[in-house]
Structure 1
């Protein structure tokens, strides 16, 4: 059984929101982290000790642009002098509107960012992960992948695609020592949506609708992601792990 993964993990959308929490928890767990984002900024690492903060670095990258993704990955091995042992595909967008009039251009944009760019990043990462011999891709999907949600035809479709891509890559790349796991969050409070989540009507709805009593914190997704990188063995692959407080199964 292989040891825990040691090396650098690339996190897309790693500067804010769930991606920032994932980056911080990975660094806290002892992994080195390359945080990719359009801004090229580091997440707020005030809660980390000095050693953990030193395991974080930031790179500017547009995940929808192949040349930008390739350039970012080419720079990663030299950042810490370590192999790339993981990729967290977190970056994404959420556009919504009535299905009968939802612009196809917006649908294409959501699918490009949430699904096609995820595959692109995985393809670019593939030779680095294969070289490591024991690597992990964590995709951040959504529990919307199994729901019919009004006004969310593009987002639901894109996250269903994330699950399908995860399964296909897991099967194809298992022989290369690459695991692929899809994390599908429900409602998560982050620095980007905290005010909205605590608005009276939505807060009351989520407290009633989610069996555990309300949304999770972004750190919950970060800790789960870090745990997956610390698990020895390769047998967990291709699965979707729902972390939604039981909402997606509750009647």
Structure 2
């Protein structure tokens, strides 16, 4: 009989590409089994992943704004992996841009559902799993836009500010249960989705001047940080927002 050496299963939402895929790879290499949730149900598409890495993640199709789909996906991952859920990374999100006077009600509600309500819904679903585990860690992926005033980004900024506030509230309410909640807030991160825009468009020139290091971060930067929070397992650290933006948000 083979004895599993996994440290348990961590659910990652929005795991098929970009930051979510990098987080999934980092967690697998740190010894965890990873439940990879996405709308497509695809396995993480990440450079450098080996067959050994892929054997430790279990993909499930899920609309993260639908609690019933989240419950089904969580149960499916537990059944297939054979591992208890010990953590959650709320990474799924979408972008929105537009002038304040033109924001449509349906657009605002949809982005709020995916970026903010899903954090609440997934955290509620994972709660009994973490209670059974006698504690665990939830990492929410926010944005440094939560503290900035950005033209034509009201909807996105509002959702990420909500994520930061939800992190603090969940942290203080669940601390007595040994459930910690942290918010990782990236700045500009280059992924396959925005690579051309950053490398060839005016955004790249702006970021080269605005970010102290002169370049945006990458998905692996965020993946390494999130993985380190699970590996460190610092019991007294909860409720905090950790910015990973190369100093962009504090530059004057």
Q: TM-score, normalised by structure 1?
A: 0.95
Aligned runs of 1:129-168 on 2, under 5 Å?
129-168=130-169
In terms of mean alpha carbon deviation, does 40-49 or 228-237 score higher?
A: 40-49
Task: For residues 90-135 of structure 1, give each alpha carbon's deviation from its aligned partner in whole angstroms, at most 9, with x where no partner exists.
Answer: 0011111000121122111111111111100100110001111231
Question: How many residues matched?
Answer: 247
Structure 1, unaligned runs of 5 or more: none
Which residue does the alignment assign to 2:3?
Answer: none
Aligned-pair CA distance for 1:208: 0.6
Mapped to 1, the partners of 2:143 and 2:201 lie a distance apart of: 24
C-alpha contact 1:15 1:36 (8 A) present in aligned 2: yes
Against the structure 1 CA distance between its residues 45 and 198, is the aligned structure 2 distance closer, same or farther, given a 3 Å change threshold?
closer
Which residue does the alignment assign to 1:203?
Answer: 204
SS of corresponding position for 2:64: coil
Task: For residues 161-200 of structure 1, give each alpha carbon's deviation from its aligned partner in whole angstroms, at most 9, with x where no partner exists.
Answer: 0000000111111111111000000000012211111114
Mapped to 2, the partners of 1:185 and 1:130 lie a distance apart of: 29
Which residue does the alignment assign to 2:74?
Answer: 73
C-alpha contact 1:92 1:114 (8 A) present in aligned 2: yes
Aligned-pair CA distance for 1:46: 5.0
C-alpha contact 2:36 2:60 (8 A) present in aligned 1: yes
Task: For residues 133-177 of structure 1, give each alpha carbon's deviation from its aligned partner in whole angstroms, at most 9, with x where no partner exists.
Answer: 231100000000000000011100000000000001111111111
Q: Which has the higher contact order (CA 8 A, sep 6+)?
A: 1
Aligned-pair CA distance for 1:62: 0.7
Which residue does the alignment assign to 1:63?
Answer: 64
Which residue does the alignment assign to 1:26?
Answer: 27
Mapped to 2, the partners of 1:200 and 1:158 lie a distance apart of: 26
Q: TM-score, normalised by structure 2?
A: 0.95
Q: Please list every run of at least 4 consecutive aligned residues from structure 1 whose deviation after the TM superposition is greater than 6 angstroms.
A: none
SS of corresponding position for 1:79: helix
C-alpha contact 2:58 2:81 (8 A) present in aligned 1: no
1:35 and 2:46 matched: no
Mapped to 1, the partners of 2:245 and 2:233 lie a distance apart of: 25
Cα RMSD for the two superposed structures: 1.3
Mapped to 1, the partners of 2:126 and 2:210 lie a distance apart of: 39
SS of corresponding position for 2:173: helix
Task: For residues 22-56 of structure 1, give each alpha carbon's deviation from its aligned partner in whole angstroms, at most 9, with x where no partner exists.
Answer: 11111111111010011100012551343322111
Mapped to 2, the partners of 1:63 and 1:46 lie a distance apart of: 25
